[in-house]
Amino acid sequence: MPVYAWKGLTAAGKSVSGTRESDGPKSLRQVLRKESIFISEVREVVGGRQAKRALAAGGTEAKGLRREVDIKGLFERVKPRDAAVFTRQMATLLHAGIPLAEAMGALSEQADNKKLQMILAGVRQKVNEGGSFAEALSEHPKVFPELYTNMVRSGETAGNLDAVLARLADFMDAQIELRAKVASAMAYPILMTIVGSLVLGFLMTVVVPPIAGIFADSGKALPWNTQLLVLVADILGGYWWLLLPLAVGLYLVFRRWSRKPKGRAVMDRFKLRVWLIGRLVRLIAVARFSRTLATMLASGVPVLTALEIVKRVLNNTVLEKVVEEARVAIREGESIAATLKKSGQFPSMMCHMVAVGERSGQLEAMLENVATAYERDVATEVGKLTSILAPLMIVVMAVGVGFIVFSILGPIIEMGQMVQ
């Protein structure tokens, strides 16, 4: 088993080092992490004599060491969970009194995600060169979006970066949990749709055509439903090579149109009005708006800047327009609650709670309560949606299969009666 020399920091900020046998650097980091040690440097000892010398010297005189390099980091994606874990660990180290650059060094080696390792190494270099932490993070907007960097900037300015990062980690965990609830609830209906489509496609392209040939040979007039079934089966079986690229092309055209300003506005209005989905979309947007705005205001971000950033995370042009109107109203001396209520797009209970928060000077706390309440409503609504969509998909599949069966059995029964 190879021997690795390592250096790191304890949770209390004390520098430690040593050597240890391990299957690999990743395994070593996981073992030391359980001991509350954050590795800042890990190197493999090459050769038996060097290994013994490193072990005897406690890892301080290990020569011929080489740093781990992994090319897959160039293609690996940084997931929101990875960024949330980094944020939580960073807040812990800073709260323990560890300098920013030293904490970055420890976490850049500690990260399991190779892409994140490279990003954090670059951020650490910028910080060591005298740049601000927020500016260094802003060079990687896909991993650290504008909301993240603005909160970090406010924490640097106010001198409470550890508290801001802890609050930001809580926010990221809440958003990840919310997305996970929606995704897990929608997984079953989507799976049912795929399976149902495959079953119907199999029946139409494999089962129906031979039976349709028997009907054609009989020369008997077929009922309208059987004629329709045969026509659809002929089209799917004979022109699938044309229908498949046509469907893909139509999807790409629709996708391109829906991303343009006019198309996106139409789709966003439709999402808020469509049966079953519209209420869920609105609840998710309200919960996200409340949680994001509360987190940014509590971190010291100015309200106008916070609203500008919150507007971009709603992902709905209708609601974005309302938030922009709220920004304009605040400049003119009006309240946030009055503008939100006037639009009719936000629930009246939320507007009332925001108004109470503005009057009492506890807007951040009130927004946190609003976010918690509507996140619970999202979970409830998702459960209702799943309980409706699952049997609905079963009914649709049953109707489709039933139509095929009766369209085939009807003529067969008539042909049997004629033979008798």
The pLDDT of 284-307, averaged and rounded, is: 86
17: helix, strand or coil: strand
CA angle, residues 136, 128, 169, in degrees to nearest 5: 45
φ, ψ for residue 71 (rounded to 5)? -75, -20
pLDDT over 80 (residue 165): yes
Q: State the residue for tokens 């004979």.
A: 238
Q: What is the pLDDT of residues 142-153, one digit of tens each?
A: 888 888 888 888
Q: Mean pLDDT highest for which of 4-18, 211-225, 245-259, 295-309?
A: 245-259
Residue-wise DSSP of 191-204: HHHHHHHHHHHHII
The DSSP bridge pattern shows strands 37-45 and 66-67 to be antiparallel
The pLDDT of 373-388, averaged and rounded, is: 84
The amino acid sitting at 418 is M
Spatial distance between the Cα atoms of 136 and 127, rounded to a whole number of angstroms: 7
Q: What is the pLDDT of residue 13?
A: 65
Q: Mean pLDDT highest for which of 35-39, 53-57, 280-284, 384-388?
A: 280-284
The DSSP 8-state label assigned to residue 111 in this structure reads -
Token couple for 130: 């005298």
4: helix, strand or coil: strand
Give percent of the chain with pLDDT exceeding 90. Answer: 4
Q: Any idea of the CA torsion for 266, 271, 274, 277, to the nearest 10 degrees?
A: 170
The pLDDT of 50-59, averaged and rounded, is: 45
pLDDT over 90 (residue 46): no
- 264 Cβ neighbours under 8 A, 6+ residues apart: 258, 317
- 24 Cβ neighbours under 8 A, 6+ residues apart: 2
Q: What is the pLDDT of residues 186-200, one digit of tens each?
A: 787 788 888 888 888
Q: Mean pLDDT highest for which of 69-78, 102-111, 210-219, 264-273?
A: 264-273
Spatial distance between the Cα atoms of 299 and 154, rounded to a whole number of angstroms: 7
Spatial distance between the Cα atoms of 226 and 291, rounded to a whole number of angstroms: 56
Q: Which of 81-85, 292-296, 360-364, 382-386 has the lowest mean pLDDT?
A: 382-386
Q: What is the pLDDT of residues 317-343, one digit of tens each?
A: 888 898 888 888 888 888 888 888 888
Task: Set out the domains of the chain in order of their start, with CATH numbers.
Answer: 1-69 (3.10.20), 71-144 (1.20.81.30), 170-420 (1.20.81.30)
Q: What is the pLDDT of residue 206?
A: 84
Calculate the CA 11 to chain-centre distance: 30
Q: What is the pLDDT of residue 71?
A: 45
* Type and span of the H or E element at 16: strand 15-21
Q: What b/e readout covers 271-285, taking b as 16+ CB neighbours within 10 angstroms?
A: bbeeeeeebbbbbbb
Spatial distance between the Cα atoms of 53 and 159, rounded to a whole number of angstroms: 45
The count of residues in the chain is: 420
Spatial distance between the Cα atoms of 223 and 256, rounded to a whole number of angstroms: 42
Token couple for 178: 């919310």
Token couple for 114: 């190779």
